[in-house]
Amino acid sequence: MSLIVDKTTGGREYKVKDMSQADFGRLEIELAEVEMPGLMASRAEFGPSQPFKGARITGSLHMTIQTAVLIETLTALGAQVRWCSCNIFSTQDHAAAAIARDSAAVFAWKGETLQEYWWCTERSLDWGPGGGPDLLVDDGGDATLLIHEGVKAEEAYEKTGQLPDPASTDNAEFHIVLTIIRDSLKTNPKKYHKMKERLVGVSEETTTGVKRLYQMQANGTLLFPAINVNDSVTKSKFDNLYGCRHSLPDGLMRATDVMIAGKVAVVFGYGDVGKGCAASLKQAGARVIVTEIDPICALQALMEGLQVLTLDDVVSEADIFVTTTGNKDIIMVSDMKKMKNNAIVCNIGHFDNEIDMLGLETYPGVKRITIKPQTDRWVFPETNSGIIVLAEGRLMNLGCATGHPSFVMSCSFTNQVIAQLELWKEKASGKYEKKVYVLPKHLDEKVASLHLGKLGAKLTKLSKDQADYISVPIEGPYKPAHYRY
């Protein structure tokens, strides 16, 4: 795509694939609203008081139908919004079109190049001369990273006059980040400092982004307050688990139509995501083998009847490989060479470095046959045998299907709304330092309770006597902080 910003008739900026899909997007957004009771309840509760009046929110989070409902919840509460996706394949173009046309400045399309991806990220952070956003919704931490790297480079430049050198890294993506920063430094040497000054805080969506935040907190380099939405129970124990249980087989089916029953599937990692993936593969009739580094999670897998082995043990007999670790170098090209013909290799973790895509792409003589977008067969010259890689090693549920379904994302995103409200409300109170916070349990419970009615559930009420007996308030919260659910 030509990287030139478009404008709506009303003057709002955007860059999307195909504005004619806006009507289709709108229809699916309307369906999703019925499935997202937490977000709709937030609109009903907070809409009238317009708490985000005056707030600029930038989001870097998969631009899907569900995210569209989140964005329009933020705008319904008074915010102005700019948005990009946090993955090159995860945008649903009809969702992007509908939001770009109706509600917010969107820079996102399915199948961005890395260059385009970071251009979109920068666009979503650029609120014009007045600086950056007031609030950040991040997923994986790329927007947060760009600001932190920008500030770091500006400081170095101020001290030493030295511009960042893209050639200093052999990581293709970081090369782009440094280039972007270098280019802005020349014209606006305080751009990221100004951004940081204005920024009230970030709410981070996912395990990987949270890990980065805690590392920065530990190093003392975190530049603004952060709310860890991922570790709300109603996020990580729902979206990560039940979302993946839904969307992993969805992605497999849409990409390959493969029969899961009877197959041997290897799930790398048995955290929340791995648990969801293993559950759905098992239920679909696969024989599931888990790899783990953590003996506790390994023992959990065993208790569910899953075998725990290493990749080496099963590399040549398994049919489906799914990485969920959040770590890197899980499946290397040397492993892929040993696999059965047409073994399926995919990743549902946040980043694409779980699978050694670089090793595969640069393997001498390897042949790539694109069956359809996001489904490639890679054939090794020695064996003339191929493997099938989904979404080029990126999040396969978003690359090959439509990600998690609305209902579970309503849980996650209601946490996002609450986190954003909290940061904004306390912007001047000093309540939040440059640290990582989780939402209090009563808000977590509130998110859950907003989703019960839709499913026809009725809660039991404690009597005063019973509440006293177990030492909790009648209205909750009901569990100690360390409770694991």
Q: Please, which of residues 183-202 interact with a copy of itself by CB under 8 A?
A: none
Nearest-5° Cα angle at 204, 196 to 183 = 40
Q: Which of 121, 280, 374, 414 binds a copy of itself (CB under 8 A)?
A: 280
Would you say 337 and 382 are in contact if contact means Cβ atoms under 8 Å apart? Answer: yes
CA distance 140 to 158: 29
Q: Determine whether 362 is exposed, middle or buried from the number of CB atoms within 10 Å of its CB (0-12, 13-18, 19+).
A: exposed
Active site residue 244: yes
Taking the complex as a whole, the smallest distance from the CB of residue 124 to a copy of itself amounts, in Å, to 25
**Which residues face 289 on adjacent strands?**
266, 307
Would you say 69 and 406 are in contact if contact means Cβ atoms under 8 Å apart? Answer: yes
466: contact with a copy of itself by CB under 8 A? yes
Q: Mark the segment that binds a copy of itself (CB under 8 A) among 67-75, 124-132, 281-289, 427-435.
A: 281-289
Q: Which of 231, 335, 392, 422 binds a copy of itself (CB under 8 A)?
A: 231
**Residues in 23-62 that interact with a copy of itself by CB under 8 A:** 24, 27-28, 31-32, 34-35
CA distance 161 to 142: 26
Nearest-5° Cα angle at 296, 294 to 299 = 110
Contact string 323-362 vs a copy of itself (x = CB under 8 A): ---xxxx-----------xx--------------------
Q: What is the DSSP letter of 376?
A: E
Active site residue 376: no
Active site residue 420: no
* Rg, C-alpha atoms of the chain: 23
Q: Which residue of the set 66, 412, 415, 420 is catalytic?
A: 412
Torsion of CA 67, 69, 75, 76, to 10 degrees: -160
To the question of whether residue 275 is assigned a binding role by annotation, the answer is yes
Q: Which residue of the set 15, 42, 60, 62 is catalytic?
A: 62
HEC readout, 203-248: EECCHHHHHHHHHHHHHCCCCCCEEECCCCHHHHCCHHHHHHHHHH
Active site residue 219: no
Taking the complex as a whole, the smallest distance from the CB of residue 109 to a copy of itself amounts, in Å, to 19
Angle (deg, nearest 10), helices 22-35 and 65-76: 80
**Residues in 422-451 that interact with a copy of itself by CB under 8 A:** 438, 444-446, 448-449, 451
282: contact with a copy of itself by CB under 8 A? yes
Taking the complex as a whole, the smallest distance from the CB of residue 333 to a copy of itself amounts, in Å, to 16
Strand, coil or helix: 14: strand
Residues touching a copy of itself, count (CB under 8 A):
115
156: contact with a copy of itself by CB under 8 A? no
Q: Which residue of the set 21, 60, 80, 90 is catalytic?
A: 90
Q: Which of 18, 362, 371, 431 binds a copy of itself (CB under 8 A)?
A: 371
Active site residue 139: yes
Active site residue 240: yes
Helix (H) or strand (E) holding 46: helix 37-46
Active site residue 350: yes
Would you say 14 and 102 are in contact if contact means Cβ atoms under 8 Å apart? Answer: no
Whichever of 54 and 473 has its CB closer to a copy of itself, that residue is 473
Q: Which residues are catalytic?
A: 62, 85, 90, 139, 205, 230, 235, 239-240, 244, 350, 404, 412, 416
Residues tagged in the binding site annotation: 64, 139, 205-208, 235, 239, 271-276, 292, 348-350, 397, 404
Residues tagged in the binding site annotation for NAD(+): 206-208, 271-276, 292, 348-350, 397, 404
